Chains A and B, each alone.
Chain A
Amino acid sequence: MTLMAEPAAGRFGDFGGRYVPESLVPACAELAGAFREAWADKTFRDELDHLLAVYAGRPTPLTPALRLGGELGIDLWLKREDLAHTGSHKINNVLGQALLARRLGRTRLIAETGAGQHGVATATAAALLGLSATIFMGSRDIERQRLNVFRMEMLGATVVPVTSGSRTLKDATNEAMRAWVADVPHSHFLLGSVGGPHPYPWMVREFQRVIGTEARSQVPSVPDVVVACVGGGSNAAGTFAGFVDTTARLIGVEAAGGAAMTAGAPGVVHGSRSMVLQDAEGQIAEASSIAAGLDYPGIGPEHAHLGALGRAEYRTVTDAEVVAAIHRLARAEGIICALESAHAVAWVLRAAGSADLPAGSRVLLTLSGRGDKDMVTLSEGADK
């Protein structure tokens, strides 16, 4: 199979759609039209490709993890999004959307952020293109990702603490959407993942497709397994896009405390129908993960669709496995990855040699970001 070029009415099977207030419908429709047009416009594509190359550092390398792979009895290749500018794959989507915002005459970027990686990337693109940026971040995430708050502010962005609800990504997303409703003529809502109303799941997957396209051309042979962490699921969506038409199994790894695919039920939150952690009445549950970027009760609708089809599989790992995985990768390969990315590593560590990942498997793992931002969290954990 291939992924839908443009999902009709924003639907991926039973999932997706555009569940937003009427006030936002025209803006979503305008954005869908603008993206469709830009994505077919060679000038736009060339400008984005140029920025990705000379500014974001693409293509990112594919690193054979020889020592860790050897210890595990598998061939392990790491797609190094941690080496992209700003330290994660988030820059791919942000540069695309920021160019689109400028094309639409918007002067202000509004974004939500969890770990701060998307916020930093948005602040970066705003600085580069001369736009203003307002970043909504849960106050709990601000406490545990203070370094990224400093980075955003240094780049000229305004960081707005969100104190409602669980004070994490879910609530930051609510607040960003509220800010968007109030400033539609000037603002572009720069959503960081493959969730939200149409066209975001489609558009963000397309902007992240570069991960999978590059990796496909870099791997020595088609992998048996392609694995990436999923919160909202943007790095996984971009990676899967390059391999969905191959024989590779696609594995998304969720945080045990934020496992929308594994423990959720169909629901509507933040503009689309997807799998959502919720109670029997439909109140959205508060996720709980050591990785702020995965601390989210939902997932992008295309993942829900791929999961329903059985084309992609979703697994969970615990916080403890994630911390162990960061240390193991660091010692074996000299790479300190982000807590989020370490979820994919943790699954490989657990599954290698089992029926889920037999010895000799060829594995492509997208390392979505670097771990600098997590040093405080990890050192505090080590003190305990």
Chain B
Amino acid sequence: MIPYGGKALVPYVTGGITADWTSYVLAYEAAGADAIEIGLPFSDPMLDGVTIQQASDRALARGATVDGILADLSEIKVGVPLIAMTYANLVFRAGPAVFCRRLAGAGITGLIVPDLPVDEAAAVSAAAADAGVALILLAAPVTPDDRLAEIGARSRGFVYAVSLMGTTGERDTLDASASRLATRVKAVTDLPVLIGFGVSTPAQAATAAESADGVVVASALMRRVLDGATPDDVRTDVAALRAALG
């Protein structure tokens, strides 16, 4: 899913945030994204800070649905992997098997569920594997070593290293816990390790990539979209991140 060797860039967009939201997906690809994370908005995004909350609310207020977002994706051609991010209730409401097959049908090959820790992941993990979708697990700075090994063993695609203790959202500096965690995760898995949460600027992305295999950037881009940035505008932002990562 994530190219080995280089430094991967995975930008995020909330599905349905604007009528032409898939133009952001295409802009990300054009700017050099290695994979693209698509948020399937949930009413109660407990792990998200104010930016992704607002993005989710805006998308839901526009009438965004999982089916609608997947239908939109089916209408575009993207040459890089697509990864869905959503909360557990949307997965369980449809049923893990149905939900994962739906993702696969729209060309999505990865799934991130931030409120589904490894202990609760068995059913979704099996359903995802059956559908050919990689269930990407998250590791946190407080995760003890034995859990980290389990997360490394059971994650698929890559391991998502949560850079800090907190919600998603832009930060002035990249927390030192990010590189410590990435190093610990890399010691227990051969999968790529991507750092996310609070990676806001090209400089922070470059710093994160010193210890990890790449970064996920969400809030910094969605703040721009909420403020009215066009796909062309954010293509420039993503290109700057790409340049910083090499």
Contact = CB atoms under 8 A, between A and B. Distances in A.
Interface of A: 9, 17-23, 25-27, 164-165, 170-171, 174, 177-178, 181-184, 265-271, 273, 276, 278, 280-284
A21 B141 contact: no
B67 to A, nearest CB: 8
A2 B6 CA distance: 58
Contact of B139 (A19, A20, A22, A269): A22
Interface string B70-107: 00000000000000000111111110000000000000
B140 A266 contact: no
B93 A278 contact: yes
Given A19-B120, A184-B165, A267 B89 contact: yes
A268 B43 CA distance: 12
B42 interface: yes
B114 interface: yes
A26 B90 CA distance: 25
A170 B46 CA distance: 11
A268 B88 contact: yes
Nearest to B53: A164
B142 A23 contact: yes
B29 to A, nearest CB: 27
Contacts of B139: 22
Majority secondary structure of chain A interface residues (helix, strand, loop or mixed): mixed
Contacts of B92: 266-268, 273, 282
A26 to B, nearest CB: 5
Interface stretch (B12-20, B143-151, B217-225, B235-243): B143-151
B44 A284 contact: yes
Complex A-B, nearest 10 residue pairs according to Cβ-Cβ distance, in ascending order? A282-B93, A23-B140, A182-B166, A282-B90, A22-B140, A283-B43, A268-B88, A282-B89, A284-B43, A268-B89
Report, as a range, how many residues of chain B touch the other chain: 35 or more
Contacts, number: 112
B237 to A, nearest CB: 26
B189 interface: no
Contacts of B42: 282-283
B47 A281 contact: no
Given A21-B162, A265-B93, 9 more contacts: A18-B117, A18-B119, A19-B115, A22-B139, A22-B140, A165-B43, A181-B165, A271-B115, A283-B43
Given A19-B116, A20-B117, A181 B47 contact: yes
Contacts of B46: 21, 174, 177-178, 270
A171 B128 CA distance: 30
B138 interface: yes
A282 B90 CA distance: 5
B44 A174 contact: yes
B60 interface: yes
B65 A19 contact: no
Contact of A21 (B49, B67, B115, B144): B115
Nearest to A23: B140
Q: Of B114, B139, B140, B147, which is in contact with the most chain A CB atoms at under 10 Å from its CB?
A: B140
15 contacts: A18-B120, A19-B88, A19-B120, A21-B138, A26-B144, A165-B43, A165-B57, A174-B46, A184-B165, A266-B92, A267-B92, A268-B115, A282-B91, A283-B42, A283-B90
B131 to A, nearest CB: 18
Interface in B122-159: 137-144, 147, 151
B203 interface: no
A227 to B, nearest CB: 30
Contacts of B57: 164-165
B191 interface: no
A328 B92 CA distance: 44
B232 to A, nearest CB: 31
A203 B87 CA distance: 25
Nearest to A266: B92
B119 A9 contact: yes
Q: Of B43, B60, B67, B116, which is in contact with the most chain A CB atoms at under 10 Å from its CB?
A: B43
Given A178-B49, A184-B142, A283-B43, A22 B90 contact: no
Q: Of B87, B117, B141, B166, which is in contact with the most chain A CB atoms at under 10 Å from its CB?
A: B117
B1 interface: no
A266 B91 CA distance: 12
B188 interface: no
A282 B167 CA distance: 22
